[in-house]
Amino acid sequence: MTGPSPYGVQDETLVPLAERYVSAEPVEWRGDTVYPMYCAPLGPDPTTVSLRLRSAAPPDGLLGFGIGLSVLGGHVALDERRLRGVDVWADAMSSGIELRVQAAGPDASLTLTPVWMDTTGATASWTGNYGMLIEHTGADAAILYCSTGIGPVDFTELVIRVEVTASPTDESRYRGALYDLGVAMHGRGDLEQACMLWTQAADFGHAGAAYDLGVVRYRRGELFEAERWWRAAADSGDVRAMAGLAEVLDRRGNPSEARVWRACADSMQRT
């Protein structure tokens, strides 16, 4: 970027941006609409998140900076692992990077927010004058002008392009069709047929099907099977399944693990 920028340094004596946010909703700052995060809903198919660095002008005193990706009600698929989120540093985005995310429930979404590493090696976010201006360039793409939480507000510190696109596979289409057919059978009152279809869908990795199977088994008093299916859905990031799993674990005499899952569900619902 060349020439003066309308997104440059502003008066840092004002209340820090982090103290102005009350939710994911934006705040007004010197005539600009500033967001604490970029949010995008996730559908049932695997989704590709593309990140590419446009420009970088980090403040002094940082060992690194970038963008934090979190998935609410789902996970990031990385090297055969399922993660709730990852931090992507600026150098990794210089040539562009793609990440695969997967929803696990009906209200799944992803968020992006600035992160940085100070001279002690500690990673930080959600503090100081962090935030972003969002320029939508298409239905699924945007330019994010990010300010870290160090020093005054400066939306030229990190500028990235993000694109979020559904990437359906033959397997995801098949498991989705099995699940939808199971929902139809359930609506017709054929619970056994619905469970058979949901079991097939869950075996192909459909977290929603695993959750529904857990509900059926729990209502029947089959706590072992309810735990099995809710654990599968919870491991994929389904918040509903985390709460259900905690209830089953309490009833089966495992309160310590129940507290862990309940805390995990609560933290994701507050994000």
- Per-residue pLDDT band at 270 (split at 50, 70, 90): low
Go through the domains of the chain in sequence order and give each one's CATH number. 17-166 (no CATH), 170-269 (1.25.40.10)
Band of pLDDT at residue 267, cut at 50, 70 and 90: low
Average pLDDT, the chain: 90
Distance (Å, whole) CA 64 – CA 198? 45
112: closest CA among 34, 202, 36?
A: 36
For residues 17 and 27, is the Cβ–Cβ distance under 8 A? Answer: yes
Please give the pLDDT value at position 167: 86
Q: Which of 219, 218, 217 is nearest to 199 (CA)?
A: 217
Residues in the chain: 271
Average pLDDT over residues 202-208: 91
Provide the pLDDT for residue 271.
Answer: 52
Structure confidence at residue 3 (pLDDT): 45
pTM as predicted: 0.75
Residue 190 one-letter amino acid: D
How far apart are alpha carbons 199 and 72 in whole angstroms?
24
Q: What is the pLDDT of residues 177-188, one digit of tens each?
A: 999 999 999 999
Neighbours of 138 (CB within 10 A): 7
Q: How does pLDDT run across 85-123, given as a tens digit for each residue?
A: 999 999 999 999 999 999 987 788 999 999 999 888 999
CB atoms within 10 A of CB 139: 9
| pLDDT tens digits, 37-77 | 999 988 888 999 999 999 999 998 899 999 999 999 899 99
Confidence of residue 4 (pLDDT cuts 50, 70, 90): very low
Mean pLDDT of 154-161: 96
Of 187, 248, 241, the closest CA to residue 75 belongs to: 241
